[in-house]
Amino acid sequence: MPDARIAVHPEARIDRIEPEVHGHFSEHLGRCIYDGIWHDETVDSEGFREDVVDLLDDLDLPVLRWPGGCFADDYHWEDGVGEDRPRRRNLFWAQGREEIPEEPNTFGTDEFLELCERIDTEPYLALNVGSGDPQEATDWVEYCNYDGDTELANRRRENGHEDPYGVKYWGIGNENWGCGGQMSPEQYAREYRRFATYVGTMDNLMVEEDHELIAVGYERHEWNRRYLEEVGESAWGVEFPLDHLTLHHYYGRDMSVAEADEDKYDKFLAEALEMERHIERIAGAIDAVATTRDIGVIIDEWGGWHVEATADSGLEQPGTVLDALSAAAVLDIFNDHADVMTMANIAQTVNVLQCLVETDGDDAFARPTYHVFDLYAPHKGNEAVRTSIDAPTRALDDGELPLVGASASVDEDGGVYVTATNLDCRERHTVEIDLGSVAAETVDAQTLFDGQEPDAEVDADNAGEFEPDDLDVSVSDGTLTADLGPATVAGISIQ
Ligand code: AHR
């Protein structure tokens, strides 16, 4: 007997699902860049790890944020271009090595932008506000994007890149309430305006570029209100020189998935679902202050962050089914808020935190979260539509966990894509999906993680076990029925 009902309302459009909500974040931290994307110095061969690049390419990443993270506000981009690259300390992260952490600068701007070209991804550069200045920031924009006959544009050419890269997304700092300079929201707003004046004005010099400026927000929402009030002050007639406001949401920091029990799984998933409240609150702050300007919400860093991920471990933690399940639930939330969401970047791309790809010596393999992104890929660029969900919940100490989640979108031919998650790590749930006016002539359904335990960890040997399986569904009188195993995800295409 079905115990969960999902109604899809194809006529109730939310907005386009920006492909960028499936974005990624990569920092000079632990083994993300070195030994992840780029061969570690200790490895004889040089350059990109083709195995990792191929996996990323297959996933069709829409956007990639770099070089941090906290690293960004201690990074001086000129260290990482040209022939002579100084070796520097890495102030924030232990690079996964036992010795004093150091940054060789082997992987810099041109390498990052070449990676983006190879995998056809929009680059997103985070500028150094905490320890840098607007001149350094503007120079970076000029080096990357200017087509004229200046020293910086010519330096890019000498470094092998005749044409401007056309970098569109520029982040003004990272966590400037913390590692990016411990600023107050008002102080950051003033710094932001100083940077935005110069970086933003570079637009006038570009032939085709339309830079989008991205500001640092915070999960402590008081920051967002005060920042927006200050940055919106238009003493000189310039209002809100920003396109997107961000926040970071990590969850599960007090747990190890391997040591947790089912109660802790529930708590972890409920923490992940807090994403919805954060999106609504930051969007509300934007609405309240910036009434005339279209400012999008970016979740710039997100994902599970567990006790194993410390600076000493290079923020590495096992890749589990539970984490992947949380990613599915969060991607459903992004779909439901397509009207405000302009981007989201899971942390981080390779080896660090809830990465999608892991390397182990000469092996590179997809983590369970990778398969979730793949399963959700058909939503990208579709119109999100409303769903209503009537499903059991489990009472928690401070709230409740809905045991079934879902979202839906419509493509330009009227086809519907539904994703559904069984967030119950104990029981199966039979789900009935009311398809409304959609004539279900062809249905194709897949499921992830059926038969896997939530704490199942991926490694080089078992990576193939986390790939999708076909899901049996039945359709009758406009209603589709599917039986979802505990801690599983489904992707259902209805044409
Ligand atoms: O992703 C790891 C770190 O988490 C980033 O450097 C920082 O922005 C955040 O606190």
Q: What is the 3-state secondary structure (H, E, C) of 404-460?
A: EEEEEEECCCCCEEEEEEECCCCCCEEEEEECCCCCCCCEEEEEECCCCCCCCECCC
- pLDDT score, position 437: 80
Of 429, 271, 469, 340, give the one whose Cα is nearest residue 420.
429
301 lines ligand 1 (CB under 6 A): yes
- pLDDT score, position 234: 61
AA letter at 103: E
Per-residue pLDDT tens, the chain, 495 aa: give them. 889 999 999 999 999 999 999 999 999 999 999 999 998 765 545 699 999 999 999 999 999 999 999 999 999 999 999 999 999 988 877 555 566 678 999 999 999 999 999 999 999 999 999 999 999 999 999 999 999 999 999 999 999 999 999 999 999 999 999 999 999 999 999 999 999 989 987 776 665 568 899 999 999 999 999 999 998 876 556 666 789 999 999 999 999 999 999 999 999 999 999 999 999 999 999 998 876 678 999 999 999 999 999 988 889 999 999 999 999 999 999 999 999 999 999 999 999 999 999 999 999 999 999 999 999 999 999 999 999 999 999 999 999 999 999 999 999 999 999 999 999 999 999 999 998 888 878 999 999 999 999 999 999 999 999 999 999 999 998 899 999 999 999 999 999
Residues 392, 257: Cα–Cα separation, whole Å: 24
Q: Which two tokens stand for residue 40?
A: 């570690």
Residues 172, 213: Cα–Cα separation, whole Å: 7
Q: Which two tokens stand for residue 369?
A: 């979260």
309 lines ligand 1 (CB under 6 A): no
Q: Counting Cβ atoms within 10 Å, is residue 71 exposed (0-12), middle (13-18) or buried (19+)? A: buried
Q: Tokens 């637009």 correspond to what residue?
A: 203
Contact criterion met (CB below 8 Å) for 39 and 362: no
State yes or no: is 222 an active-site residue: no
Contact criterion met (CB below 8 Å) for 49 and 365: no
- pLDDT score, position 118: 96
Residue nearest to atom 3 of ligand 1 (CA): 69
- pLDDT score, position 182: 98
175 lines ligand 1 (CB under 6 A): yes
Q: What is the pTM of this model?
A: 0.96
State yes or no: is 175 an active-site residue: yes
Contact criterion met (CB below 8 Å) for 367 and 321: no
User: Which atom of ligand 1 is nearest the CA belonging to 301?
Assistant: 1
Of the residues 175, 271, 316, 358, only one is catalytic, namely 175
Question: Candidates 32, 65, 70, 73: which one to mutate for ligand 1, based on the most atoms within 8 Å of Cβ?
Answer: 70
- pLDDT score, position 478: 87
- pLDDT score, position 446: 98
Phi, psi of 138, deg, nearest 5: -65, -35
Of 182, 179, 183, 191, give the one whose Cα is nearest residue 75.
179
Of 160, 154, 158, 131, give the one whose Cα is nearest residue 73.
131
Phi, psi of 314, deg, nearest 5: 65, 30
Q: Counting Cβ atoms within 10 Å, is residue 295 exposed (0-12), middle (13-18) or buried (19+)? A: buried
Give the rounded distance of the alpha carbon of 342 from its chain centre.
11
Q: Give the 3-state secondary structure of residue 135.
A: helix
Contact criterion met (CB below 8 Å) for 468 and 449: no
- pLDDT score, position 240: 67
Q: Which two tokens stand for residue 113?
A: 């932008």
Of the residues 142, 301, 316, 358, only one is catalytic, namely 301
Alpha helix positions (H), 146-221? 151-158, 185-201
For residue 301, report the distance from its CA to the centre of ligand 1, in Å.
7
Residues 5, 205: Cα–Cα separation, whole Å: 55
For residue 63, report the distance from its CA to the centre of ligand 1, in Å.
18
For residue 339, report the distance from its CA to the centre of ligand 1, in Å.
27
Q: Give the 3-state secondary structure of residue 248.
A: strand
Of 116, 62, 24, give the one whose Cα is nearest residue 379.
62
350 lines ligand 1 (CB under 6 A): no
Residue nearest to atom 6 of ligand 1 (CA): 69
- pLDDT score, position 242: 87
Find the helix packing angle between 262-273 and 321-336, rounded to 10°: 30
AA letter at 223: W
Residue nearest to atom 7 of ligand 1 (CA): 69
Residues 367, 417: Cα–Cα separation, whole Å: 23
Cis peptide before 69 (omega within 30 of 0): yes
For residue 233, report the distance from its CA to the centre of ligand 1, in Å.
29
Question: Candidates 66, 73, 253, 301: which one to mutate for ligand 1, based on the most atoms within 8 Å of Cβ?
Answer: 301
